[in-house]
Amino acid sequence: MIRYTLILLLFFSFSINAQNISGQAFYESKTTVDMDALGGGREMSEEMKKTVAQMMKSALEKTYILTFNKDESIYKEQEKLDAAPMNPGFKMMMSSYTPGAQYKNLKTGQIVEENEFFGKQFLVTDSIKDLDWQITKESKTIGQYIAFKATAMKKVDPNDYSMARPKKKDERENAETKNDTAQPQDPMDMIEIPEEIEVTAWFTPQIPVSNGPGEYAGLPGLILELNVYRTTLLCSKIVMNPKEAEKIEPPKKGKEVTREEYIKIVKEKTDEIRENFRGRGGNGGGGRRGGGF
């Protein structure tokens, strides 16, 4: 009874301050790397695992800033001046599936984000997905805020390779058996992308905005911690009503496309890369050269 009374007090006593609220939330990202998925289901040596893990560390451990008010937000990666150098090809692969600046308008339900895909800028428009959040009885303290746990199931884009996981052993063996031995094994045949995943969010009604990092929103309070598949975003600092903050407005750089159009572009380019991989025998020879978008 005391728990529910506390929740009700938090939900309603702070809502009166929501009209003029603004702030900045800083999030630290941590991602667990599945080396089996990266290796296409084939075992990697310990030395190779260490090399790949080191390369991916700077790509996966990042700081993001969410600048928000009651209805709008802009979410950006905080650039690191001392970032470690990265292999150009690896950097391009990682950035191909990582969104740039993301603008959300809670009133209109719109998302606008900048994406760079294989050297070309896109301005992707989409609607905020209404997840069926289930608020649980669990709570914990994050910094100076009381946060409550909520979960939801989210459908996964079949071309989102950040969600890739290795197929079961028997499925990988079947793929290898069916593969033409004259052709290199396509790594994509060794992985699968789940149809849906569980998302866990910890939100605080003490900051009464229905916002959060990335595309996530829709809870009665700011999301302070988010767990999506192998990635965790944890809020490390909050600055309320800052005197100086980035102006919140939609990004404008890139070719305007819808989410559906962008997914189609990514799929076509990915299929082209796979075709080239098969055609050149995995060693850089022959194959069809990639065209434009």
CB 197 within 8 A of CB 153: yes
CA distance 75 to 154: 20
Residue predicted with more confidence, 3 or 230: 230
User: Which residues does 45 contact at the CB level (< 8 Å), separation at least 6?
Assistant: none
Residue predicted with more confidence, 75 or 268: 75
* pTM attached to this predicted model: 0.76
Quick: pLDDT tens for 207-221.
999 999 999 999 999
Pairing of strands 120-127, 255-258: parallel
CA distance 240 to 281: 56
Which DSSP string corresponds to 112-144? EEEEEETTEEEEEEEE------EEEEEEEEETT
Quick: pLDDT tens for 243-264.
887 789 999 989 999 998 998 8
Q: Where are the domains of the chain?
A: 2-279
Intra-chain end-to-end CA distance of the chain, in Å: 59
Share of the chain above pLDDT 70, in %: 61
Q: In a 3-state reduction of DSSP, which class is residue 215? A: coil
Pairing of strands 145-155, 110-117: unpaired
